[in-house]
Amino acid sequence: MARAHGARAQMALAFETVYGTPPASGYRLMPFARTTLGAEQPLLNSELLGYGRDPLAPIKDAVTADGEVVVPIDVEAFGFWLKAAFGAPTTTGTTPKTHTFQSGNWTLPSMAIEVAMPEVPRFAMYAGCVMDQLSWQMNRSGLLTATARLIAQGETIAATTAAGTPTALGLQRFGHFNGVVKRNGTALGNVVSAEITYANGLDRIETIRNDGKIEGADPGMAALTGRIEVRFADSALVTQAIDGTPCELEFAYSLGANASFTFTAHAVYLPVPRIEIPGPQGIQATFDWQAAKATSPARMCTAVLVNTVTGY
């Protein structure tokens, strides 16, 4: 009897032309570390009386399909998650190609994602997947991954794959060692760690249907927040926080001229932090920042991925 193992699991992804309708072809094999993507349908206890102390059979409630996927921040495959978060990019150049993703799009693409456990066999197709949130952390060491939070329309289970043979991409990962944080174009020193979270504020359209699925997930007000933790060496950030003026923060990774990822928040506002002295060790300050739409460029953030992929 075969037993499912995460080591044999696979994930295939393709963008949909029609929301909730998985395409017949065009799937890509996506690298991932773990996932909670799935559907659940709870049971409602019977409230009826008059049948004795033993309860009557429960009934099924609505279906909820969502979850998270932890993926590597790499040179090629990460562009698909950026497209899900921001919409299709503008691609320029020949070799390398520069893919520019911008915040503020009114519509977001939907994806069909198949999670395969071939030894069971179990092939779960999640149609109508829309990106609700994309987040990652910057540290000095460790594995660099991002967490994509998705809302799906529903789940379909089959014994054979519906994704065919997905196309594999080249895997070239960025690492924390390749990262840098810049403030107004200048490297920001004494940064211990950083967090970035972009949220689309999706609104589930929960209409009455006989299949229990949602009608869609519409983007609401976007939000870009994060945290930077720095060794307290000067008052530049504290002064900015007191003045209430914005700055531009850039979070970048580079593996050379043909492979880089740069995420820029164009207007970042810092809160006035509490400066604590916890003991004899070095003093650190934490800024829970928020980004807003900048005057120039007239958007909140821009993500630029440089690689040799033709398009997303």
pLDDT at 1: 55
CA distance 285 to 230: 5
The pLDDT confidence band at residue 91, using thresholds 50, 70 and 90, is very high
Can you tell me the distance from the alpha carbon of 72 to that of 99, in angstroms, rounded to the nearest whole number? Answer: 18
Domain boundaries, the chain: 6-41+60-159+171-307
Q: What is the predicted pLDDT for the residue at 191?
A: 93
**3 state SS of 278:** coil
Counting every residue written for the chain, the total comes to 312
Collapsing DSSP to helix, strand or coil, 162 comes out as: coil
Q: Where is mean pLDDT largest: 5-9, 64-68, 205-209? A: 64-68
Nearest to 132 by CA among 207, 190, 69, 89: 69
Q: How far apart are CA 61 and CA 84, in angstroms?
A: 29
**Is the distance from CB of 302 to CB of 102 less than 8 angstroms?**
yes
Would you state the structure tokens that stand for residue 154, as one six-digit string? Answer: 């529903």
Q: Are 300 and 199 in contact (CB under 8 A)?
A: no
In SS3 terms, 32-82 reads as: CCEECCEEECCEECCCCCCCCCCCCCCEECCCEEEEEEEEECECCCHHHHH
Q: pLDDT of 209-242, one tens digit each?
A: 888 889 999 999 999 999 999 988 788 899 999 9
| Inter-residue long-range contacts of 277-281, CB under 8 Å, 24+ positions, other chains counted | none
Looking up tokens 């017949």 gives 24
What pLDDT does residue 121 have? 93
| Distance separating alpha carbons of residues 295 and 87, to the nearest angstrom | 21
Q: Report residue 6's pLDDT band, with 50, 70 and 90 as the boundaries.
A: confident
- The tokens for 202 are 């999706």
- Within 10 A of 312 (CB to CB), how many other CB atoms are there? 19
Exposed e or buried b per residue across 101-138, where buried means at least 16 C-beta atoms within 10 angstroms of its C-beta: bbbebeebbbbbbbbbbeeeeebbbbbbbbbbbbbbbb
Lowest mean pLDDT among 61-65, 76-80, 84-88, 243-247: 61-65
Count other Cβ atoms within 10 Å, centred on residue 222.
Answer: 19
Rounded average pLDDT over 109-113: 98
